[in-house]
Structure 1
Amino acid sequence: MKRYTEIEIDEANGINLIAYAEQIGLTLKKVGNSYKVKKYGGLYIDATGAKWNWFSRDVGGGPIQFVMEVEGKNWVDAVYTLLSVEKSDFTPRPKPLSKERGPFVLPDKNDTYKHVIAYLIQSRGIDKEVVYDFIIQDKLYENAHKSCVFIGYDERHEAKYASVRSTNTRGNSYRGDVKNSDKAFPFCYEGSSTTVCVFESPIDLMSYLTLLQYHGIESFEHHMLSLGGVADRALDYYLKQHPEINRIMLCLDNDEAGHFACQQFNEKYHEKYKLLRHSPTGKDFNEDLLMIKSNLQQSQLREPKTYYEIERDTEEEMGL
């Protein structure tokens, strides 16, 4: 059997998986900080090209394991395959020149809040006091197109970020960030504890606050923020602004992208912070909220308070 030196093995494991996957004809789609391999059910490659996870098979690793799993080769043949590729095919892609960010301007306000209020309360099931609270804090308003505008501020309380969500309940709905938004400044709920709860969207965050009420939790002191996706830029900035925080509760979506993001967050933050996870039962916490409100009695879906209070060490720690 062919034997390889440690240098050769390191060389094989140094191949960029994104470039390799494209070379062998796989189709990739950018999802947050990773690439999804189409037609391979749950196979994701990290944006660095150094590692991967195949959630439907519960496997992952580096380039050698990738070739073994995806191409069905043994270890020796996988190393040989990677050492045989043309290195010129794996030169780093040139980064586009960064353009200077233009001015950030919030969308024009409507002269009413009624469409936003109706959408969030009636269509999304969010408690009216939660909605009103964010309106009073100037973190939520209705624009001229009758859409929701969720705002993120910097430490001087200057708006730096905004995401727009249309209030349409039929036909096509729009969601996106306002031009020149800076994702480092998230839509958030300021807390006073040492825990921050992390969500993908403002509606999930507001749904969680509503679910707390359904579960009889009247006092909630944890910080909460929306990433506006699954990238961690907002979290990274928030942690720097709040050095007292020592625990991160990941409340990301219960789907492949959310699971993969949790893996990445755990790898990046686990040395300094205690990471916990509260996964929704459905795809996200708004789906859970709507399920409770429309299909089942509140008592039938009660979870133990500790899932929301995060006050004991009996919560589910990330087993990653």
Structure 2
Amino acid sequence: MGETMERVWLDEAIELAKALWRAYVLEPTEEGGRFIFDSLFQSDFSLIGTGKHEMYPNLPAFMGGLGRDQEEAEGITFEILDDYYEARPLGEGCCLVFGTLWVRERPSEPKSLLVEMDTRFSMVFRREGDRWLLAHLHHSTPNVDQHRDEYYPKTVTEQANAALAYSKALERRAELDPMTGLFNHVAFEGHVCEALARGASGGTFFMIDLDDFKLVNDTLGHPEGDRVIVEFADVLSDVFAQDAYVGRMGGDEFAAFVECPLSVAQAEAKARTLVERWTACSDGRVRLGCSVGLASVARDQTFFDLYHAADKALYASKRNGKGRFSW
């Protein structure tokens, strides 16, 4: 096979991989199911998934599981936040497509906990006539117990040897985002709700979003994108130090809540420092920036009142040029 034809075939395999994920995630319909079925290698298909039950050695077993999965997901709408694909030839008429897929539920109304999947996958395609067919799929999600730069969850294994200490660590870890160590969405909301119940008069809610983050992934790759997320979390924690609850709301979206009273000038100084500190982290390969939306606590406000007010202000910052803050 010539180099040009090989590239064309590999690009075809990537496009089929994208279409299959979209049919599974975005179109759990009979038509989507038919497309998936027609795209599988009928005589020798297998799948290993993230669920304990997802070990399908053949096509009939997989199609039965697919039907049950679609019934369970009925009424839930998903969106693909980001994806990444690479392809490699495996010999005559066979290739591998691997990458990542980040999917999150899109609720019709605010929810405390959203269904989210950040998976890594590998797909083996076999050529049949003038098209590719999927012969094997393996996808998995990262181990929440495994720290950055660990090749197996050594830390949590060591902690397990001290039962009392480990129990306390588990309670704490349940509140944390595994990548950044910040509060996860649910824990952050819970702490802010507790603060509001105490009064939190004069408190300030900061909604933060990285500007053009998809460009980082597309330009430098997803491992570099993960590093950017981690470095921003470190800057965010440093700017707010010990006087705030700081959380990762999902993806490249973060939030901070300062319970003690802040003047407008003090709150804006925090936002300005964050924007300037993060912009200064640019290293020439891609420009880094963030936008901030602020909202002050008003009487009888709920978490969602504050969240939506700050989110509205955040999008005003985005519309006005990014790399800035708004109320």
TM-score interval (norm. to shorter): under 0.3
Between Structure 1 and Structure 2, which shows a larger proportion of strand residues? 2
Q: Taking structure 1 as the reference length, what is the TM-score of the superposition?
A: 0.22
Q: Taking structure 2 as the reference length, what is the TM-score of the superposition?
A: 0.21
